[in-house]
Structure 1
């Protein structure tokens, strides 16, 4: 179910005539409310249950700071198993920027346990928390709540006071554990118009709206002034919400859990022209162009980069791109902070030699422009940040920036200088998440972030089998396109030895005479070569060896165990893989069974397995092609069936008899 609405005078919503009591009284609980067996019987296998999660958000006015919103929240959770103990680690996210930050107040937390048939309460104070830095100007006040054990009930209450009206909190109704009662109220004055969107498969039990007339006392031109304005009180609630848990190849489970998101589009004051923020994409650009931590950073003193330019400027756009990447990468390293906004000036970032993703890649855009290229910043929401809620203009959903170059032939090239070895045209997996938005006065367009994600691989194994079941030989691996890019990043960041150790994920494989060959600036694949030895690899039964048909590349189990799935299967990349196994037998060996040819196709996925005898052995060819990255939920059943057949065919064996 998806609902789109505008929180303004034009808002329309159906009110459900459903009312429910708040599910718990903060600070008090009875033994009967902590009946562990009741919850375990009702929710078998669940690690914990959210008994209630309640929030009320209201706007207020401070004569020194202006309008603010106050979010009051309280939550209660019961721990059912050892796996649920992690819910005793509780964090409160809060936002800060340009020397200001949100305030946390009215904090109280309790841990309840039953001892000797009575409820024992442990109080937790705000001073017991510790601050953790997060990304994109967010921090967390975190608590490791004490006395947590199976059967504990924890509850937390706090207030967020925020000047950052752009950061009006979204609300998650659904989680990875069952939620018995989730309730969100919002009292919104008509001065502020938000775009809102509900996303999820959960039907809300309560959707209410009530209008009121409020008096506001504000400062206008230095004088206190009273104004009357309409406010709208919204309430959304859902009960007995089933959990939605991540499954294999899930990009971000929060993309699919039921929640409401808000985006400030404009301010509308009496007798004044509206102030637009994100009504249109042009509004978004205008806002960011004049933001000190975005557009003003990008355009501040381009001369700070001039001293880094080479004496002899590159002759072609392609050479200029490489030059810009190398200059920025050599002088500014990523500090692992994914951010849409900068925290320092360009000169400070260059002096520090490190910066967040916005600082690194906005400097890259500036350097590309200094080299005469048409370059633009591209706003991105990373995989961990979540997918965009819609195509509507947005300022708050971004948490990352990459660079784009528009070539003379109209083609564009995406760039990211935060990685260990930047390569034009490729983005790290964290940034490959649907679409981004190029934000410039002359180029304000959607950009496909998934246009260059094909992982191509060709493996050739020349192997020999001896009477002890040992496998010895050589292998050569050619990896191209996005695969080459990923391998280069792994080799650079982990080192060659660590890279080799994880390449096969087989502890008994012994590699020697290893070599890695690649030229980062050409399009040829990376080449990996080594001698390979696996002692006692092949199972022997009597006088026969049982050999997996595709050896150590066998897919031995179907990770897609669920019969149904409510959200898509998402892979990191598309795939074009070919593996060839040439197996030579000893003089006293012969094949008694060779797998039949298997070939299947499902939509844009296909595989093929075939074997043919050679003069002194056998040649096995395994082809695996996946030309799409995402399998929609409605196609999951067919995909799962296809994958099951692939696993089944993977498990075919070769049988060799020893005379």
Structure 2
């Protein structure tokens, strides 16, 4: 995704620097075997006694190599203490690396590991065997080194080191100081040479313990072969450069805990990213490499695993023409193609950008998100519709980086079509998706439409409204028994979630689980509607019953929201450092009508409530009223704003606290004397 940076006359100087890497710091931070008896005897981590494991030491260093062209070298060593059974998964290590079809690649080298245990008063060390290291191809370009450390149990310390050599100077390794488990010491060092300039982007809130930079001058030998008439002359010389040695350290970094409505905590954890912004060799004009979306788009469209996949799709032509035959309007044609791809293809659950062979995927009727939706894009084009692939970063992958083009910031592909001035964002991976709606995982800010000349950003919002309506007609008996008929109706994201659950579990299992409403309530005679009619609301209708006492009682206590009360506040922390992302607007409405038992009147009714957040970001309305022997309950929640900042957290937390309190209030019915 970057211009060719190294086909320069100056390159021969770099190629002749014999065995030179940029200098590192004097001490050796990569020495293995520094595990102590105290590390092994540790049973809890004092700053966080709930921790299942703790990173004792994590050290990385990136440097430039000039022994074979220009390469990046990344070295790492880490030590992790296992404290609880739930921390044993830290022994499963995955190292991603990148390869391209043009021969440029990354290599994972010198993988070494040991597991240390304390046995019979002594330290016992077990070596990671090479046969326990496996390589897996993730997609056309990404590969994984996978390993499991040997002999790991509660109390173990694992130690691992490896090196990655990379031909991709634009991918200077990022560094995560924070993890889902606490970190005692995390350190990253980079030796920057004067020819390449990188932007540094810091995320998170944890402060640096050390942040340092020092300049060192390095003089390296070079050899140049020059032809003088018929004589080959070898000339020796030196090249001198200043290297900036950066060092960043964080210590006692807390675990990055999961919080509700935070789609990807990695967006906010303490980490340092780098983006190549300029290349300038001696006596050369600078090449600026960041912010060029036009070049990014052109490179993608020329990529054999992306844009080129759409150039030879005539194998889809016959089917595409049959699908749209006899249809006059463009939207009907689009819907026919989308329906076919959804029915023909099965998504394998993998998030991908690149595809290896669309014809093979179509023939075997299965593929990743890229293969399914690039096939959709190709078939739309064969049907005469102008469709474009669109890059997306799913919620679990993190927010897309809109400031600069980086392919690693995307992990998913959908299809983009504009008909009659309306943009349609199309995904054929899920049978339960109504036309024009995106799955919840894709509702993540914006997506990049890959089209000439330079593409564009488009908000990731579908056309479908997100609605949930529950209504009920119920009867209360003098014994306190409550029974009646409830109906639930869902549109948008709630409907997709419900339909997907039915498909995943099977209708029989789903109905059986739904009928089990708990110890107090019983659901029976459950009926589903519009399970396969995706353009209509998904519905459930059922009988609901709660047993009462054996004899009539003088006072009846009724929970008017039945099984639908907001039982707890999702926002439990007093303060929060991270934003709240609902992804889609919330529209929940509940209407319940109760027939009161004869001879009973309300003694206590919950007071009506109207709660609003500033600028109508959210609104809650709750009304309970009694008239003509009936009790009527209306509860309505609207969250119109999908993204709240940490500064707005306090108001949002209080808003939900009041909803919980209001839904918990009971109606008291008293028998007339």
Q: Which TM-score band applies after superposition, normalised by the shorter structure?
A: 0.7 to 0.9
Query: Which 10-residue stretch deviates more, 526-535 or 125-134?
Result: 125-134
Q: Confirm whether residue 148 of structure 1 aligns to residue 152 of structure 2.
A: yes
Distance in 1 between the 2:264 and 2:534 partners?
33
The Cα offsets for residues 533-578 of structure 1, whole Å up to 9 and x where unpaired, read as 3342799996433221211011122232211111012224211111
**2:71 matched residue in structure 1:** 68
What pairs up with 1:214-253 in 2 under 5 angstroms?
228=239, 230=241, 232-253=244-265
Which of 387, 390, 393 is the equivalent residue of 1:378? 390
Q: How many aligned positions are there?
A: 632
Q: Confirm whether residue 526 of structure 1 aligns to residue 526 of structure 2.
A: no
**2:51 matched residue in structure 1:** 46
Distance in 2 between the 1:433 and 1:218 partners?
53
Distance in 1 between the 2:573 and 2:451 partners?
45
* 1:416 Cα deviation from its structure 2 partner: 0.7
**1:652 matched residue in structure 2:** 665
What pairs up with 1:271-350 in 2 under 5 angstroms?
278-298=290-310, 300-311=311-322, 312-344=325-357, 346-350=358-362
> Aligned in 2, Cα 1:392/1:372: closer, same or farther, shift over 3 Å?
same
Q: Confirm whether residue 365 of structure 1 aligns to residue 377 of structure 2.
A: yes
Distance in 1 between the 2:345 and 2:569 partners?
43
Distance in 2 between the 1:654 and 1:572 partners?
35
Whether the aligned pair in 2 keeps the contact of 1:112 and 1:120 (CA below 8 Å) is: yes
Where 1:607 maps in the other structure, the secondary structure is strand
**1:123 matched residue in structure 2:** 127
Q: Confirm whether residue 177 of structure 1 aligns to residue 181 of structure 2.
A: yes
The Cα offsets for residues 437-485 of structure 1, whole Å up to 9 and x where unpaired, read as 1121146211111365742121111122345544332122222344444
Greater Rg over alpha carbons, structure: 2
Whether the aligned pair in 1 keeps the contact of 2:609 and 2:622 (CA below 8 Å) is: yes
Where in structure 2 are there 5+ consecutive unaligned residues? Answer: 1-24, 226-231
Query: Which 10-residue stretch deviates more, 195-204 or 597-606?
Result: 195-204
Distance in 1 between the 2:541 and 2:235 partners?
79
Q: Confirm whether residue 636 of structure 1 aligns to residue 636 of structure 2.
A: no
Which of 79, 82, 99 is the equivalent residue of 1:79? 82
Whether the aligned pair in 2 keeps the contact of 1:460 and 1:475 (CA below 8 Å) is: yes
The Cα offsets for residues 335-363 of structure 1, whole Å up to 9 and x where unpaired, read as 2221111122x322222222221122122
Distance in 2 between the 1:652 and 1:219 partners?
86
Whether the aligned pair in 1 keeps the contact of 2:432 and 2:534 (CA below 8 Å) is: no
The Cα offsets for residues 382-418 of structure 1, whole Å up to 9 and x where unpaired, read as 1111113452222221111111112232x31111111
The Cα offsets for residues 578-611 of structure 1, whole Å up to 9 and x where unpaired, read as 1011122333544332222122112311211111
* 1:265 Cα deviation from its structure 2 partner: 5.2
Which of 79, 93, 98 is the equivalent residue of 1:95? 98
Whether the aligned pair in 2 keeps the contact of 1:334 and 1:355 (CA below 8 Å) is: yes
Q: Confirm whether residue 596 of structure 1 aligns to residue 634 of structure 2.
A: no
Query: Which 10-residue stretch deviates more, 76-85 or 434-443?
Result: 76-85
Where 1:206 maps in the other structure, the secondary structure is strand
**2:418 matched residue in structure 1:** 406
Whether the aligned pair in 1 keeps the contact of 2:295 and 2:454 (CA below 8 Å) is: no
**1:617 matched residue in structure 2:** 630
The Cα offsets for residues 217-244 of structure 1, whole Å up to 9 and x where unpaired, read as 8999xx9999958555433222232333
> Aligned in 2, Cα 1:358/1:24: closer, same or farther, shift over 3 Å?
closer
Whether the aligned pair in 2 keeps the contact of 1:59 and 1:68 (CA below 8 Å) is: yes
Query: Which 10-residue stretch deviates more, 309-318 or 615-624?
Result: 309-318
Distance in 1 between the 2:96 and 2:219 partners?
30
**2:215 matched residue in structure 1:** 210
TM-score by length of 1: 0.86
**2:42 matched residue in structure 1:** 36
Which of 461, 465, 474 is the equivalent residue of 1:450? 461
Q: RMSD in angstroms over aligned alpha carbons?
A: 3.5
Distance in 2 between the 1:22 and 1:153 partners?
21
Which of 155, 174, 190 is the equivalent residue of 1:186? 190
